[in-house]
Structures are given as structure tokens and as C-alpha cells.
Amino acid sequence: MSASSEAIPVETLRWRGGQLELIDQRALPDRLEYVSCTNAAEVAEAIRSMVVRGAPAIGCAAAFGIALEARRQQDRTPREFETAMEAAFRTLAASRPTAVNLFWALERMRGVLAANQDPKSAAAKLAEAALALFLADVETNRAIGRAGAAMVPDGARVLTHCNTGALATAGHGTALGVIRSARDAGKRVSVIASETRPYLQGARLTAWEMIQEKIPVTLITDSMAGHLMSLGRIDLVLVGADRIAANGDVANKIGTYTLAVLAERHRIPFYVAAPLSSIDISSADGSAIPIEERSASEVTGYAGMRWAPEGVNVANPAFDITPAELVSGLFTEKGAVTRPDRRKIRALFPG
């Protein structure tokens, strides 16, 4: 499967049946390289080590990881197959804790597995299901894009955080998808990308994607957002989500909460773009969402260069919680929800 380069210029995940190819996002923008995975453990390691990142992309990768493992194990007895697949689900579920799309995708795959006892037919159905999930993600992002683009004024200078583009999804993107859709709808938009320490997804990935798309982009450090708002140089903030609680609280890349507080002070809209698969009704509010703590080495330097002295303590929470009260609007494939709250979020899931 390979989508046309026109529709999806950045092929974050390429499904080759016997293997999953992932852009190595650690190497961007220096090098556009692919990593190949042929089983669930390799996909889990690619997620853990951030070869692939971004909540929807992680979900797709995990689904393909299950499909790969099923194909690899399809000649086993049903009991051996079941044991191997159980291990594969556990390994993938343990790869990263915060983005709920991972667990959502695994749950979908579990449903397919449960409905197919025979290893060979299960493997075929799981491969179909993973591909369907992948293709649906692109359509979902386009629908999010349409919903959000309607809320982006012509000429808007949009501050975004981390990377929520094609690289974070199966294609098009969530928050960056809204920007793409607004541009495609004829609006002039420009992007202010916060670099997003420690992992620099803004500086490396968002800047790169926007340059590919010829959308004007200005890179800032995370500490500059407040200053630019105080000068009137930002019209709205637009971010993605790793998990949205039932009350509308948003877990997203560390630094998102700060941008929401700043936006409120400056009366700038703060929008979140995410698929329904990022909403976790079982998390009552943000305090129920586990926040991943990552390695100290991400903070003491970057890519093998160390600049902090030996002996320093480090905190490295990868996400923070933005309370729903600070969210001006939520863009999903079902449209825009202004001032999201428990009732409005519940209404997105009929039945």
C-alpha cells in the first residue's frame, strides 16, 4: 500500500505486507531514512525510541505491529498463536503510556483477533484491519482539517507546538492538518512553530513539514510564545492531543498547558485538533491520565551532545494536562466543539 504522493507527500508509515517501514523521525530533517519492522517487538521498540511518534501514528504503527506478528505466527497451532499474540499485545501496550490512540488501536485489533480463531485467517483479517485503520486515519484527519479550517481566519498567524502533521499521523495531520486544509481553502496562514524541547519536534519536524508545503513558518524557542503574544503577533494557538479526558481536559506534549495559560491571558483562541480515538471516556479528568517520564539524557543535552553538568537532577515529564476551561474549541472528525465539556464530549459518542 502506498498512497499517491500528491495526497500524502510525507509517507510516515509504509505497509509492505511482510514489513512496516517507518520514517526514522529521529534523523529528520537531516536525513529522510526508513526503518523496517517485521514483528511486534520491533514496532514496540520503534515507538519507545521515537522512530515513530505522534498519537495517531503510534496507533497505526501498533496495529501494523499486531498484523506483522500475526503473519509471522500464522503457521503455529491455535494455542501457540494465541500465546504469541498475547505477548505481542503486551509488548506494544507497554511501549508508551500517555497517547490513548495506542490502546484504542490495540483494542480494535483485539476485537478482530477474538472473532477469528484460525491463525491464518486471523492473520489475514488483522492485516486488513490494520490497513483499514491506517486509511481511515487519513480520512479522519481530512475531516478534522475541514472542521478546523472554518475557524481559522484569513491571514491568521497560528502558533503550534510539537508536531501534529503528516509525520504524527497516517497523513495530513491533526493541528497541522487544519493549517493545510485552511491553506487549501484559499486562506493565507502562517505558522509559528515552538521548537518543543527536549525532543525538538517543532524545530525538526513541524518546520520541515511546513517548508515542504511552502507554508510560511517561523521557529521560536518555547520560552518566546508569551512575548510574541504580548506583541500581538499570534492570532490563535492550535495543538494536537495525546489523550482527552471525559471532561475535556487535554494531555498533550509538555509545554501545551503553558501556551493555554498564555492564550487565556491574551484572549487568543486555544484550539485542540484530535480524532475521536484520542478521547478516553474512561479517564474522568486529566488527573486520571498517566504522564510519561522520559530519560534524563533528553534534557541534559541533545543527540549525543551534553551541555548540563554531571550530577544535576532532571525532571522530564513528556506531557502535561491542559484543563478543559482553557480550551476554546475542539476539532474532531465530527466537527468543531466550542468550549468542550463533559456533556459535549459525551455527545460525540452516540449510543
Any idea which residues carry the catalytic annotation? 242
Residue 196 binds its own copies, judged by CB under 8 A: yes
φ and ψ of 278, to 5 deg: -90, -5
Contact status, residue 201 vs residue 53, Cβ threshold 8 Å: yes
| The binder of its own copies chosen from 58, 217, 244, 289 (CB under 8 A) | 217
Residue 219 binds its own copies, judged by CB under 8 A: yes
Binding window for its own copies (CB under 8 A); candidates: 12-20, 84-92, 177-185, 214-222: 214-222
Contact status, residue 70 vs residue 64, Cβ threshold 8 Å: no
Neighbours of 259 (CB within 10 A): 27
| The binder of its own copies chosen from 62, 133, 207, 279 (CB under 8 A) | 207
Q: How far apart are CA 156 and CA 132, in angstroms?
A: 34
Binding window for its own copies (CB under 8 A); candidates: 34-42, 119-127, 213-221, 339-347: 213-221
Residue 218 binds its own copies, judged by CB under 8 A: yes
**Which residues sit opposite 301 in a β-bridge?**
306
Q: How far apart are CA 130 and CA 92, in angstroms?
A: 14
CB of 179 to its own copies, least distance (A): 15
Residue 89 three-state SS: helix
Contacts of 179 (CB under 8 A, 6+ apart): 152, 158, 160, 173, 189, 191, 210, 215, 238
Kindly identify the residues of this chain, within the stretch 285-314, that bind its own copies according to CB under 8 A. 299-300, 302-303, 305, 307-309, 311-314
- Smaller CB distance to its own copies: residue 45 or 222? 222
Q: How far apart are CA 261 and CA 235, in angstroms?
A: 15
Residue 198 binds its own copies, judged by CB under 8 A: yes
Residue 216 binds its own copies, judged by CB under 8 A: yes
- Smaller CB distance to its own copies: residue 42 or 195? 195
Binding window for its own copies (CB under 8 A); candidates: 15-23, 63-71, 104-112, 212-220: 212-220
CB of 83 to its own copies, least distance (A): 40
Residue 228 binds its own copies, judged by CB under 8 A: yes
Residue 244 three-state SS: strand
Question: In degrees, to the nearest 5, what angle opens at C-alpha 55 toward C-alphas 32 and 196?
Answer: 65
CB of 233 to its own copies, least distance (A): 8
- Smaller CB distance to its own copies: residue 120 or 265? 265
Contacts of 169 (CB under 8 A, 6+ apart): 12, 54, 56, 57, 60, 137, 138, 141, 177
CB of 162 to its own copies, least distance (A): 10
Instruction: Give which of 263, 217, 265, 260 is closest to 241, Cα–Cα.
Output: 260
Size of the site for its own copies (CB under 8 A): 53
111-114: long-range contacts (C-beta < 8 A, 24 or more apart)? 113/66, 113/70, 113/85
Residue 5 binds its own copies, judged by CB under 8 A: no
Q: Which amino acid is at 283?
A: S
Binding window for its own copies (CB under 8 A); candidates: 100-108, 163-171, 225-233, 340-348: 225-233
Contacts of 50 (CB under 8 A, 6+ apart): 25, 26, 199
Helix H segments across 94-218? Answer: 100-114, 119-149, 175-184, 201, 207-212
Kindly identify the residues of this chain, within the stretch 253-272, that bind its own copies according to CB under 8 A. 254-255, 257-258, 261-262, 265
- Smaller CB distance to its own copies: residue 15 or 208? 208
| The binder of its own copies chosen from 137, 242, 320, 333 (CB under 8 A) | 320
The pattern of x and - marking residues 16 through 45 that bind its own copies according to CB under 8 A reads -------------xx---------------
Query: Residues interacting with its own copies, by CB under 8 A?
Result: 29-30, 192-198, 200, 203-204, 207-208, 211, 216-228, 230, 254-255, 257-258, 261-262, 265, 299-300, 302-303, 305, 307-309, 311-317, 320-321
